[in-house]
Amino acid sequence: RVRGRAVGSVPRMGARPSTAAAVARSTTATALQRDRLLNRLDAVPAGGLGLVVAGAGSGKSTLLSTWTQARPQATVVWVEADDRFGDPTVLAHALVASIDEHVAGFAQQFADLSAIGSGAAGQQFVARLLVAIEQLKVDLVVVIDDAHLLGSGAAHSVLDGVVQRLPGNARLFVAARYDPPLTIHRLRLEGRVDEIRGSDLSFDLSETRLLVETVAGFELDEPTLSRLHGRTDGWAVGLQ
């Protein structure tokens, strides 16, 4: 998938670097078919939120990349945040440009977005964005990766506005190293959020065995396998 090329007056901001990069990431050792986690992502309902929160190197992005590539029926929009995303307008431009990659002309509805740094991307923008998304005839999956880099309260306010009012033809997945300040209590009560944490991302013993066999090409006896798993706590980078 091509993600995030700017169209019209919307500059290229924060899109995932390339399809090749996504494929490379998903073919690393941590990209095993981890059905117990993929099934949980599948279960996030329409209009719901999938929150993946864990430390660096735990496999957050790899899990989401593996999942999205196996769901060709969905229109996947991937925005990878960086240190510019403290300005909410950067997030706004990135979302619009990435959707425009899949829906020709989408960005034209937002040609009046002000210049970066103007603070134009507030709740009025959120309302317009969600109306525009609701009118799309697609199953939309929006991924915000590295969301811990949305440094400002204003940027988080934009994201929270999207979370609260996401239409039924879209699902949002947020990956971060720590919990973003989102208001998700109501979503929890309504069963519209699934939270995958570091403990969930840790490889269990059977996954550790499969990883060793896939990467190293040989089998370990049970005592050695158990020691390896214990020393790494199933941490993806440690196992590699």
Helices (H) and strands (E) in the chain, counts: 11, 5
Higher pLDDT among residues 233 and 104, named by residue: 104
Q: Does position 197 have pLDDT exceeding 80, yes or no?
A: yes
What are the φ and ψ backbone dihedral angles of 13, each rounded to 5 degrees?
-140, 120
Q: What is the pLDDT of residue 239?
A: 55
- Cβ neighbors of 43 (< 8 A, separation 6 or more) are 194
Higher pLDDT among residues 34 and 176, named by residue: 176
Cα gap 65→120, rounded to integer Å: 31
Mean pLDDT of the chain: 80
**Four-CA torsion 233, 234, 237, 240, nearest 10 degrees:** 120
CA dihedral sign of residues 216, 222, 224, 227:
positive
Higher pLDDT among residues 30 and 216, named by residue: 216
Confidence of residue 122 (pLDDT cuts 50, 70, 90): confident
Q: What is the pLDDT of residue 22?
A: 40
Q: What is the pLDDT of residue 119?
A: 56
Distances (CA, A) of 29 to 7, 50, 68, 109, 119: 35, 23, 17, 41, 41
Neighbour tally for 102: CB within 10 Å: 16
- Cβ neighbors of 22 (< 8 A, separation 6 or more) are 1, 3, 16, 65, 69, 78
Q: Does position 153 have pLDDT exceeding 90, yes or no?
A: no
Q: What is the pTM of this model?
A: 0.80
Q: What is the pLDDT of residue 20?
A: 35
Confidence of residue 196 (pLDDT cuts 50, 70, 90): very high
Q: Does position 238 have pLDDT exceeding 70, yes or no?
A: no
Query: In the beta sheet, which residues pair with residue 140?
Result: 75, 170
Q: In what order do the strands lie in the sheet with 49-53?
A: 75-80, 140-145, 170-176, 49-53, 193-197
Q: What is the pLDDT of residue 6?
A: 31
Higher pLDDT among residues 41 and 199, named by residue: 41
Give residue-wise pLDDT tens across range 202-226: 877 677 777 777 766 777 767 766 6
Token pair of 233 as six digits? 């706590």
Q: Does position 42 have pLDDT exceeding 90, yes or no?
A: yes
